[in-house]
Structure 1
Amino acid sequence: MNRLTVQEQHVPGNSLEEKADVAQSWGFDGLELRSAGDLGFAARLPSLKRAAAAGVYMPTTCVEMSHFIGAFDAGLRADAIVQMRSQLSVMAEIGGVGVMTPASYGMFSRRLPPFEPPRSVEGDRAVLVDALGQLGEHAVAEGVTLFLEPLNRYEDHMVNRLADAASLIREVGSDGVRIVADTYHMNIEEADPAQALLDVADLVGHVQASDSNRLEPGAGHVDWSLFGATVQAIAYTGSIAIESRLSGPAADVLPTVPPLLRRYL
C-alpha cells in the first residue's frame, strides 16, 4: 500500500518531529516538505537531519520559489538550476527520494492576454531539455530524483499534460528525471486521467493528490476509486502526497483523507 504524506505547512507544530506526530495522529505516514529558494532549504539542513534521525518520513519536497527552470530570463533560469541542485543534494543527505518542480508557475498562460509568449515552442523545449539534462545528471550522482510536474494551462504554458512531461524526459534520457502526476492538474488537462497515467506508467516517479477544486480529496468530484485502481494498475509503490488547499480547519478536514484514499489503494 502506498504511504500517504501531507504537506508540512498544513500541520501544526514547532518542529518537524512535532508536525510528524500530528500528521500520524491524523492517519498520515509522514510529511511532504516545501523547499524555498535563495538556498533556504539548505539552511534548514540541521533541523531536517534531526528529523530524519528521529525517523520522520519525508520522502519528497515541493519547490516554493519565485522562478523556475523554464524562466524567460537566462539569469533566473540559471539561479533556478542552482537552487534545484542544492535541494536535490539536501534530499540526498536526509535520505529522501526527490524534489519536484514545474517548468514554471504563473509566468505565462496562452489562455490569458497577451496569449503569445515571448519565446517560441522550440525555444521553450530547448531550455527545458538543457535544464532537465543538467539536473538529471546531478540527481543520478546524488542518488535521488528530479520530478517534473505538469501544471494546468492557466498556471504554465509549457508542460500541461503528462504526455508533455514524458516527451521531454524521453528526450533527456536520464534516469534521474521522472514525472510527478498531480490529480488537480490532470482533472483540467487530461481527457482521460486514468489512461494518461497508464500511457506514462514507466515514467511516473511521484503522485500528488487533491480534488477537482484544489481542495483536499473528498471535497470535490475526482473519482478516487478509479484513481486507486489506476495507481495499482501502473504498479506505483511510492508515496502519495496531499498538495491542496483546505475546505476547513486542517484538524477537521485532513483526518478524513487517509481513510478515503486507503479504501481504494
Structure 2
Amino acid sequence: MKLITQDKEFFPPRMEEKLSFVYKLGFDGFEIDGSLLIEELAEVKAAVRSTGVPVASACGGYRGWIGDFSSERRSQAIKDIGEILQALADVGGKGIVVPAAWGMFSKRLPPMVPPRS
C-alpha cells in the first residue's frame, strides 16, 4: 500500500521543494490538482525526475462535471479530463479522482426536492 497526499497550504510553493517535503513527511507520492499539472507540466516533470517522488494521481482541475445534464458542460469536463490524463501519463501518474457532484442539486434525480430551502 502507498500513502499519497494532496497539496496543502503549508507545503512549499515550488514543486521540487513540495515533493521533497512530502517525502520527508513519510508520503510515497503526491496527488496534484489537474489544472496545476497542465499549467506547470515542465516544472512537475523536472521535480519528479530530480526527487524521485511520483505524482501518482490528479484530483479536480477541470471545468464542468462528467455527469452534468448540460451536454456542453459535460463535454468540456471530458475534454479537460482527457488533457489532464495525458499530462499525468507524461509524469508517470496512474489516474484521476473525479469526485461526485458534491453540492449539485437536480429535480431530475431522486429525491426530487432540494436538501435545503
Identity of aligned residues (%): 30
Secondary structure in 2 matching 1:61: strand
Per-residue CA distance 1:51-105 (angstroms, 9 max, x = gap): 2222222111111345210112111101000011001101111111111102423
Match of 1:46 in 2: 42
Aligned residues: 110
Q: Is the CA contact 1:67–1:104 (under 8 Å) kept in the aligned structure 2? A: no
CA contact (8 A) 2:62 2:80 kept: no
Letter of the 1:49 partner, please give it.
K
Alignment of 1:58-207 (within 5 A): 58-65=55-62, 67-108=64-105, 117-120=106-109
- CA deviation string 1:126-158 (max 9, x = no partner): xxxxxxxxxxxxxxxxxxxxxxxxxxxx8xxxx
Partners of 1:41 and 1:90 within 8 A in 2? yes
For residues 98 and 48 of structure 1, do their structure 2 counterparts lie closer, same or farther at Cα, with a shift above 3 Å needed? same
Distance 1:103 1:14 in 2: 28
Q: Give the secondary-structure state (helix, strand or coil) at the position aligned to 2:27.
A: coil
Greater relative contact order (CA < 8 Å, ≥ 6 in sequence): 2
What SS does the aligned partner of 2:76 have?
helix
Q: Is 1:60–1:97's contact at 8 Å kept on the other side of the alignment?
A: yes
TM-score normalised by structure 1 residue count: 0.38
Contact 1:17/1:56, CA 8 A, preserved across alignment: no
In the aligned structure 1, how far is the partner of 2:72 from the partner of 2:104?
Answer: 15
Q: Which amino acid aligns with 2:87?
A: V
Asked if the contact 1:34/1:63 (under 8 Å) is kept, the reply is yes
Unpaired segments ≥5 residues, structure 2: none
Partner residue, 1:24 = 23
Q: Provide the C-alpha distance between the structure 1 equivalents of 2:72 and 2:66, rounded to a whole number of angstroms.
A: 10
Give the 3 Å change call, closer, same or farther, for CA 19–41 of structure 1 in structure 2.
Answer: closer
Shift of 1:25: 2.1
Q: Residue in 1 aligned with 2:8?
A: 9
In our comparison, the structure showing a higher alpha carbon Rg is 1
Gap change, CA 1:84 and 1:78, over 3 Å in 2: same
CA distance in 2, matches of 1:41, 1:18: 16
| SS of match in other structure, 1:70 | coil
Equivalent residue of 1:102, what SS? coil
Q: 5+ unaligned residues in a row in structure 1: which ranges?
A: 109-116, 122-153, 155-265
- Partner of 2:98, secondary structure, is strand
